[in-house]
Chain A
Amino acid sequence: MCSTCGCSGEGSGTRISLVTEHDQPHDHEHPHDADHPHDHEHEAGEAHGHGHGHAPAATVEETRTILLEQEILAKNDGLAAANRHRLQEHGITAINLMSSPGSGKTTLLESTVRAYAGVRETLVIEGDQETWLDAQRIRATGSRVVQINTGAGCHLDAQMLAGGLKELAPPDNSLVFVENVGNLVCPALFDLGETARVVIISVTEGADKPAKYPYMFRTADLVLLNKIDLLPYVDFDVELCLGLIRQLQPEARILQVSATKGDGLGEWQTWLDAL
């Protein structure tokens, strides 16, 4: 049992599943570690050149300092670079979609997948802590979809994306949307190897959200302001929100859209096609 939240360790590993027409979890669960053994050969080999990993049996209380000088996320970043390379080789565009829960990511995906029907093959990797509900919604559009359930995990990482891509098997030149776990904090730090990072915020949230979650907005290539059809009914200061985004990430494109009514979705597609 986990000592922080008391959840059961059983079943809390990452599970990656191709979602079929019949919506049944076919028995194909991959605990995060089992299917992708942690392969440490190169790095360990290099390191031992310097470090003399095995301390001789200590007879005195002295300690010895071993310099490591490495990025904490080096392993994730290495796997992300491998994902990126593989995607580029196959002409696949991968979009990492990040937002709070309820911003309209899945609805946006449904509209986008339908818009590309017959134009470009579009596939989806859904990240959620639990359930297949979003994957089933996407599956209903006819798109191929893989569900990654992170269990206790609060973000996708590059290793999970590698597993998801293996299961999804996207064809060359396709468009893959990766719906990250709904959370504006944790996914900010993890490069998946995506082509571009898109952050979605909706007008039913606070306009000051970019200031509250600056790390997320600073990583965005594009910010979508969603649900703009609801602006007449909510108290949302668009200029405040856009100003904060520009301060945090001057290079990000910003588009105002309504995933349900279709406003701005043409520009969204134009942006995607230019990647």
Chain B
Amino acid sequence: MGGGRLSVGGVHELAIVESVVDAIVEKVGDGPIAAVRLEIGKLSGVVVDSIRFCFEIVANGTGLQDARLDIDEPSGRAYCRECGDEFDLDDPIMLCACGSADLDILSGEQLRIISVEVH
């Protein structure tokens, strides 16, 4: 059982990394890949160190196993619907300086695969 898929667990970062590897293999095949660039926003709820740790495990035995992992971490940016202010925030408890929690998150929640470099 387990379909040959590596099963480790306890963190959602593992499932995130599995999604990254599956998506890349699906799009560019399983040939060797030199680098992967991801975008993981600071408000995404995903821990970059865990991503790096899981990547080593999940990539092993695939075309990504020697790939360099570049991760951009865009900051959080929000618009306050109460006072109209637009400001940076990196704290998941989101409050405007005016005290309002009624915010539109403009940036920081990204979880994206940007590109890969192939040989």
Contacts and interface: CB of A to CB of B under 8 A. Distances in A.
Contact of B26 (A3, A11, A34, A44): A44
Interface string B81-112: 00000000000111100000110000000011
Interface stretch (A62-70, A86-94, A134-142, A267-275): A62-70
Nearest to B119: A58
B9 to A, nearest CB: 3
Contact of A72 (B20, B93, B115, B117): B20
Contacts of B117: 63-66
Interface in A128-168: 150-155, 157
A13 B4 CA distance: 10
Contacts of B115: 65-69
B89 to A, nearest CB: 12
Contacts of B69: none
Contacts, number: 171
Nearest to B113: A68
A64 B119 CA distance: 6
Contact of A12 (B2, B26, B29, B46): B2
A2 B28 contact: no
Nearest to B45: A215
A71 B34 contact: no
Given A43-B27, A154-B12, A71 B92 contact: no
B18 to A, nearest CB: 10
A69 B112 contact: yes
Nearest to A152: B9
A157 B57 CA distance: 21
Contacts of A68: 23-24, 27, 113-116
A157 B15 contact: yes
Contact of A5 (B2, B9, B116, B118): B9
A24 interface: no
B26 A40 contact: yes
Contact of A64 (B8, B23, B118): B118
B73 to A, nearest CB: 14
A167 to B, nearest CB: 17
A34 B1 CA distance: 9
Q: How big is chain A's contact interface, by range?
A: 35 or more
A246 B101 CA distance: 8
Interface string A241-272: 00010111010000000000000000000000
A169 interface: no
Interface centre among B1, B8, B28 (most CB of A within 10 A): B1
Given A32-B3, A67-B115, A250-B101, A76 B19 contact: yes
B22 interface: yes
B82 to A, nearest CB: 10
Contacts of A214: 92-93
Interface of B: 1-3, 5-12, 15-16, 19-20, 22-24, 26-29, 31, 34-35, 38, 45-46, 57, 92-95, 101-102, 111-119
26 contacts: A2-B9, A9-B1, A13-B5, A31-B2, A32-B3, A44-B27, A51-B27, A53-B28, A61-B119, A63-B34, A64-B118, A68-B23, A68-B24, A71-B111, A71-B113, A150-B9, A151-B9, A152-B8, A152-B9, A153-B7, A153-B9, A157-B15, A186-B15, A189-B45, A189-B46, A211-B93
Given A12-B1, A64-B117, 17 more contacts: A2-B6, A4-B57, A10-B2, A12-B9, A34-B3, A65-B116, A66-B28, A66-B117, A66-B118, A69-B112, A72-B19, A73-B19, A152-B8, A188-B12, A189-B46, A190-B12, A250-B102
